[in-house]
A = this chain, B = another copy of it.
Amino acid sequence: MALASERHVVRELFVTAEAARREADLVAVARNAGATVIHVADRVAVALGETEHPQGVLAVVGIEPVALADVLVAKPRLVAVLVAAADPGNAGAIVRTADAAGADAVVLTAGSVDPYGGKCVRASAGSIFNLPVVTGVDVGAVLAELHQCGILALAATMDGGSIERIGAELRRPTAWLFGNEAHGLPADVTAAADRRVRVPIFGRAESLNVAAAAAVCLYESARVQRHESPEAGSGH
């Protein structure tokens, strides 16, 4: 559990008696960091936790909003943009994968699910607190700002060029745009992107789940940027 960073801080920590014993170090750290520690009965933890298997520790976390401009000024090399993401499980899974792939930020455009909702936070397995998450921005404004910063905007679509053919262009700072399960990306978004890119379907499946497609796209970018770029020095 992330107890504090630039962007978030634990204000209150609710713990059951059993969890307070098991996680004594964590409780001490939270208290020293300024959190109010509140002891609760097991059934209170169950009610608060929105989950069938509560861990006995719940935190109320204050989140500082992140502006797109703050993300872009840091010259990101890899960004995931979820356009009107509707499924919190997929959104959280993509945040987790983006974090794992070393992305610098995730953007959820206006009309997307709340990434701090319980289902999305759980699907992110904590990654929602690991990297800047920008919310509520207009997708047109995102595309304009990406263009202005020289960041390659790739629209993940069913009918674009195969990701295997982009090659060296993936070395550039890149933002991947992912649509929602039901509607994909709006036509004006794919038209405004620099390229439409598809993950090829080799079998009989009609499409990939957006979270699976995002895993392939983000890891392909990571592979190319970290191993084939002349600027990439050390590797990992």
A227 near B164: Cβ-Cβ < 8 Å? yes
Instruction: Name A216's closest neighbour in chain B (CB-CB).
Output: B219
Distance between A209 CB and nearest chain B CB, rounded to angstroms: 6
B125 near A202: Cβ-Cβ < 8 Å? no
Measured CA separation A68–B5 after assembly (Å)? 50
Q: Does A161 contact B (CB under 8 A)?
A: no
Measured CA separation A203–B212 after assembly (Å)? 18
Q: Does A118 contact B (CB under 8 A)?
A: no
A212 near B93: Cβ-Cβ < 8 Å? yes
Interface residues on A, range: 35 or more
Contact of A202 among B162, B205, B216, B226 (CB under 8 A): B226
B222 near A202: Cβ-Cβ < 8 Å? yes
Instruction: Name A213's closest neighbour in chain B (CB-CB).
Output: B215
Known: A208-B215, A215-B215. 7 other contacts (CB 8 A): A98-B203, A100-B205, A131-B203, A162-B236, A164-B227, A211-B212, A212-B215
Query: Which B residues lie within 8 Å of A93 (CB)?
Result: 209, 211-212
Q: Does A39 contact B (CB under 8 A)?
A: no
B205 near A125: Cβ-Cβ < 8 Å? yes
A219 near B199: Cβ-Cβ < 8 Å? yes
Query: Which B residues lie within 8 Å of A236 (CB)?
Result: 162, 200, 202
Contact of A209 among B96, B101, B126, B216 (CB under 8 A): B96
Number of copies of this protein chain within its complex? 2
Measured CA separation A126–B100 after assembly (Å)? 29
Q: Does A223 contact B (CB under 8 A)?
A: yes
Q: Of residues A89, A96, A130, which shows the largest number of chain B Cβ atoms within 10 Å of its Cβ?
A: A96
Measured CA separation A53–B111 after assembly (Å)? 21
| Subset of 15 A-B contacts with CB under 8 Å | A89-B89, A96-B209, A102-B203, A103-B203, A125-B206, A125-B207, A126-B205, A126-B206, A131-B203, A164-B223, A199-B219, A200-B222, A202-B222, A202-B236, A208-B215
Known: A209-B125, A215-B215, A216-B215. A204 touches B101 (CB 8 A): no
A100 near B203: Cβ-Cβ < 8 Å? yes
Measured CA separation A145–B23 after assembly (Å)? 45
Instruction: Name A200's closest neighbour in chain B (CB-CB).
Output: B236
